[in-house]
């Protein structure tokens, strides 16, 4: 298996430094020969060049690292901004949902109140309608047993949606003073345009046949 290029470079550098150490030791002891002087200079220059190359590579790596760090920082800032945007959108959606739920609750409560009022009104109308019933016991014509007026009375007509005036919607009956005119003692003497002479009563002047 072939060695990696980096391993080869490291091995050559290690051998060169061992040789440099020997030359430096000989120079320190004063036994360096004239032929070894150029070798020592070449070894030192090689080491300096190698150090400069390593420094440049390290500087390039640092620059690359700085660029990568700036890119990562920018991406992190964008992620934070997006998170803030998403969080604001989430809060906005939550607030809208809460307002919608509150509006729905308000509508539900309002509809419930209206339904309750409608039920109460229906019960009241049923009770009023039960009071104002048609009574056919009067020989002069049907009448309202509660109001003692010809049927339909104003209340019954209003409940049935009919338009009734004082002269329309049924014959007019007027009191005559006789307790036998109507079963409830509402003394009346006139039905429509026909004078009804009740026992023991006298129509007012001018109330004859028309």
CA 183 from chain center: how many Å?
Answer: 65
* Residue 195 confidence (pLDDT) above 80: no
Using 50, 70 and 90 to split pLDDT, how confident is the model at 140?
confident
**Distance from C-alpha of 165 to C-alpha of 104, rounded to nearest angstrom:** 45
Angle formed at CA 89 by CA 83 and CA 93, multiple of 5 degrees = 145
Helices and strands (H, E) in the chain, number of each type: 3, 4
Contact call for residues 70 and 78 (beta carbons, < 8 A): no
> For residue 97, what pLDDT is reported?
94
Confidence of residue 173 (pLDDT cuts 50, 70, 90): very low
Residue pair 164/152 in contact by the 8 Å Cβ criterion: yes
pTM for the model stands at 0.36
pLDDT band at 145 (very low <50, low <70, confident <90, very high): confident
Q: How far apart are CA 135 and CA 137, in angstroms?
A: 6
pLDDT band at 5 (very low <50, low <70, confident <90, very high): low
3 state SS of 144: strand
Mean pLDDT on 41-54:
87
Report the alpha-carbon distance of residue 6 to residue 37 in Å, rounded: 30
């Amino acid at each position: 298996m072939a060695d990696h290029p980096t391993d080869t470079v490291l091995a050559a550098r290690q051998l060169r430094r061992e040789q440099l150490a020997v030359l430096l030791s000989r120079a320190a002891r004063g036994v360096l020969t004239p032929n070894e002087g150029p070798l020592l200079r070449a070894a030192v220059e090689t080491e300096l060049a190698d150090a400069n190359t390593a420094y440049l590579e390290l500087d390039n790596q640092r620059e690359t690292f700085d660029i990568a760090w700036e890119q990562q920082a920018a991406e992190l800032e964008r992620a934070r901004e997006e998170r803030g945007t998403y969080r604001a959108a989430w809060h906005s959606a939550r607030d809208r949902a809460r307002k919608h739920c509150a509006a729905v609750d308000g509508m539900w409560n309002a509809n419930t109140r209206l339904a309750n009022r409608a039920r109460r009104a229906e019960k009241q109308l049923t009770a009023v309608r039960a009071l104002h019933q048609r009574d056919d016991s009067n020989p002069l014509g049907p009448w309202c047993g509660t109001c003692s007026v010809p049927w339909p009375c104003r209340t019954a007509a209003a409940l049935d949606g009919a338009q009734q005036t004082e002269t329309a919607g049924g014959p007019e009956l007027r009191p005559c003073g006789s307790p036998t005119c109507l079963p409830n003692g509402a003394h009346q003497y006139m039905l429509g345009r026909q004078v009804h002479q009740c026992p023991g009563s006298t129509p007012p002047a001018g109330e004859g046949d028309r």
